[in-house]
């Protein structure tokens, strides 16, 4: 079946969550790298925890709780002003290199975002990066009152875009998201950013640890239909799918 819509994850796929690192190092000194990686890992963990426990937790509050956990774990004082500055960066994350080029090349196709972010967070992101007009919809999973990879999140795409699940190519760099989207019935393209590097020893830093844990394909759950290295590989994939 012809693909009628391309749907992108936001955090880690279009937008670089690691772009908080510079500010974290500025504000937290030598512990900034550790705070950066703990923050993202805990943010993901809290989204899964909240999804399993139930309840309508706003992703902004979840992200703030994750930051406070990371600061405490790293031994950095949880100062409100520090937290506010770091949180503000989540409203203006950097687009990955090639993101705008890829989106422009896909112009004329039905494009959308499906993200764990709250609607306010996502609207701020697309406005700050100037890509909002390229999308038919920016979909927050808050509409489903849970978080990915719950199937109810992926079902939002059909409702929002008026397409069937088999007419969607879902794009993500997150292994858990790939598994969830594929299990739901989407065609899936995984952006392989982990590099597949094997460490020489256990003596690695927080950034390397993060890549080993979150930058590889998952061994549990279905895999992607397409493995690509960058967003700029997408137009050729889309052309093959019609």
Catalytic site residues?
9
Pick the closest to residue 14 from 106, 83, 85 (CA basis): 106
Measured CA distances, 120 to 16, 42, 139 (Å): 18, 21, 11
For residue 225, give both structure tokens: 């239909």
Residue 114: phi, psi to the nearest 5? -125, 115
Contact between 110 and 6 (Cβ < 8 Å): yes
Pick the closest to residue 190 from 149, 221, 236, 226 (CA basis): 226
């Amino acid at each position: 079946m012809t693909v009628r819509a391309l749907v992108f994850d936001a955090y880690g796929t279009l937008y670089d969550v690691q772009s908080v690192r510079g500010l974290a190092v500025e504000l937290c000194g030598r512990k900034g790298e550790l705070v950066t990686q703990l923050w993202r890992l805990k943010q993901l963990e809290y989204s899964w925890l909240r999804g399993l426990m139930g309840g309508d937790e706003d992703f902004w509050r979840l992200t703030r709780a994750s930051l406070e956990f990371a600061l405490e774990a790293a031994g950095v004082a949880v100062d409100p002003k520090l937290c506010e500055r770091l949180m503000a960066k989540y409203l203006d994350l950097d687009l990955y290199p090639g993101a705008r080029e890829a989106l422009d090349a896909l112009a004329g196709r039905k494009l959308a975002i499906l993200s764990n972010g709250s609607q306010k967070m996502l609207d701020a992101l697309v406005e700050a990066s100037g890509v909002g007009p390229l999308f038919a919809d920016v979909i927050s999973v808050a509409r489903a009152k849970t978080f990915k990879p719950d199937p109810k999140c992926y079902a939002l795409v059909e409702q929002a875009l008026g397409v069937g699940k088999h007419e969607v190519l879902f794009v993500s760099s997150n292994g858990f998201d790939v598994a969830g989207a594929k299990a739901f019935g989407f065609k899936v393209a995984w952006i392989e950013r982990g590099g597949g590097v094997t460490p020489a020893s256990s003596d690695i830093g927080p950034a390397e640890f993060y890549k080993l844990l979150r930058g590889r394909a998952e061994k549990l759950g279905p895999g992607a239909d397409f493995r690509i290295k960058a967003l700029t590989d997408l137009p050729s994939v889309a052309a093959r799918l019609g």
